[in-house]
Chains A and B, each alone.
Chain A
């Protein structure tokens, strides 16, 4: 359906259509629009490009005038030097564990909650719905102190568990799921009812398979959000061996230069490490991600 429409679009419908383009004025305008977009793309791509290229420079080369984009040499051994100097594998691993756990938590708990409220509708579930909607207006980060204290009370300092589970209580993901489930035909559930299937089984055997696209959307959002998560991990991951990539980066940014042989150029290298997984993810799922954002109307 979408495909067809796109093809039609090449016939130029919309605000300016093919008849308009017969005039020179609109041809020039179109040229200008393309130029504008190329400039904007340049602005979007330059900073990360500078980051990756400059991570190969030495620190004095970084601050050199006149400006050069390319480093004097691409010493690839610097990549492995910085990586192994910081034993970065550990932080990567921690970030992956948290991210994976976050995806499972986000899909399972927000999904089940949305399913119960949208489909099962047990008595009193409207209250839960209202409470979730209120938390949409008051971001949990405002209560960072008492949240931190909650985690301390359960002895979960240095644990990855709360960092993953926190994504299971996300009103945005809940709404995405609920909006989707609301549109599923009720007949589906009634049929299962007659078979006597339990509510939980209906979720896993009927709802979830039908919801693959929306599960993918929530998963993608969660992956980028969990990978980038900073404040809570910074507060509770106090032991070095437990820290995630972001926590480590902030720490290194703080004592950039105070640690022996760790200058701003090495920090750039570490930052490059941190942006590469999301970039790879984006390259692979680019279409799904951009359309997910457009349809769900939620950023990040």
Chain B
């Protein structure tokens, strides 16, 4: 009996850790190791990736003094703003509509989701073609049928970010819609029946039954969307190169520039840590707020 307990203990702990070990190595190699190395590197003067001399916060200072960083930071706020304006409400609306439609529902659902499976890189190159600012660009050629002159699209510093967000939304909205849809369909029908009998209008039903039910999900997807926006990278890289005049450069794109174009590994590391801090603050802020909301 004792022997079998001992065996079970060994199996549980030694066996368990042996099973964890390979995955642990992978996480260490791909995730935690680089993260720690990044933090450490950010405090050094480096040649390539070798630490030469401890310099305290010099790399951070260098990042903060870079006018492009300031631009990228405010751009991230703009990306967030536009992704809320454009990308946040559309899926909720589409989910509401989709939940009511009975004809060809599967077809609609699949079609809305379809762009999501396309490779992101191909999608952004494709939309860059659509937004071609020359007269023969796809959208411009289409608009000229209505007598509208060529638009600069991504070349207009004020439009670059909203158009990139539009592209992101085109690709991602379908998936978010499906998540909302699943939640809407889990609403118990008797609630609707009851409110209908009480004579509630359609809008009242949405407001008092559907939206409250969706609210926790909306809150979660909202913060996920904000966190995702911080990771915008290859969209501006491909569509605008971060331009015009860095009007659409993103924080991640700047990390990439520091690390692989300017070859300044330590500066890239410092910016990586800065962005990580921003994300941690956002996430913990969200957790705190949602806790408070749940308590009330």
Contact = CB atoms under 8 A, between A and B. Distances in A.
Per the CB under 8 Å rule, do A and B touch in the complex? yes
Interface of A: 9-10, 12-17, 19-20, 29-30, 33-34, 36-37, 40-41, 43-45, 47-48, 50-51, 62-67, 105, 109-110, 112-113, 115-117, 120-125, 128, 131-132, 135, 137-150, 162, 165-166, 168-169, 171, 193, 198-200, 203, 224, 227-228, 230-231, 235, 246, 249-250, 253, 264, 267-268, 271, 274-275, 278-279, 281-282, 286-287, 289-290, 293-295, 297, 299-300
Given A227-B119, A249-B125, A290-B178, A120 B97 contact: no
A230 B211 CA distance: 38
A137 B23 contact: no
B111 A230 contact: no
Given A47-B127, A138-B35, A275-B122, A113 B23 contact: yes
A135 B35 CA distance: 9
- In the A-B complex, the 10 residue pairs with the smallest Cβ-Cβ separation, listed nearest first, are A63-B136, A122-B16, A228-B119, A67-B141, A143-B34, A113-B23, A294-B182, A145-B259, A120-B16, A146-B37
A121 B178 CA distance: 34
A10 B8 CA distance: 54
20 contacts: A14-B185, A14-B187, A15-B209, A17-B196, A19-B196, A41-B108, A50-B130, A112-B22, A128-B24, A135-B32, A142-B272, A144-B272, A146-B37, A166-B26, A169-B23, A228-B121, A231-B256, A278-B117, A293-B116, A300-B175
Given A16-B202, A17-B192, A116-B20, A278 B119 contact: yes
A116 B272 contact: no
Contact of A299 (B41, B176, B187): B176
Interface in B11-50: 11-20, 22-24, 26-27, 29-35, 37-38, 41, 49
B206 interface: yes
Contact of A199 (B19, B108, B272): B19
Contacts of B280: 137-138
Given A143-B272, A274-B119, A10 B102 contact: yes
Interface in B45-82: 49
B142 A67 contact: yes
A279 B117 contact: yes
A163 B178 CA distance: 29
B59 to A, nearest CB: 12
Given A40-B112, A275-B119, A275-B122, A112 B23 contact: yes
B35 A37 contact: no
A282 B114 contact: yes
Residue from B35, B176, B206 having most chain A Cβ neighbours under 10 A: B35
A86 B129 CA distance: 22
Given A9-B102, A64-B136, A140-B30, A290 B113 contact: yes
Interface residues of B, number: 111
Nearest to A122: B16
Nearest to A235: B260
B243 interface: no
Contacts, number: 310
A145 B269 contact: yes
B101 A165 contact: no
B246 interface: no
Nearest to A232: B30
A151 to B, nearest CB: 9
A249 B228 CA distance: 24
B161 interface: no
Nearest to A63: B136
B179 interface: yes
Q: Which of B106, B141, B206 is packed against the most chain A CB atoms within 10 Å?
A: B141
Contacts of A117: 20
Contacts of A51: 126, 129
B234 interface: yes
Nearest to B280: A137
Given A140-B30, A145-B272, A300-B175, A17 B141 contact: no
B187 A147 contact: no
Contact of B19 (A166, A203, A264, A295): A203
A128 B23 CA distance: 10
Given A15-B202, A200-B18, A230-B234, 19 more contacts: A13-B192, A33-B97, A63-B136, A67-B144, A67-B145, A116-B16, A138-B280, A143-B38, A145-B259, A146-B37, A150-B30, A166-B26, A198-B15, A224-B117, A224-B119, A228-B119, A228-B122, A278-B119, A290-B110
B203 to A, nearest CB: 10
B32 A65 contact: no
B164 interface: no
Interface string B166-196: 0000101011101101101101010011001
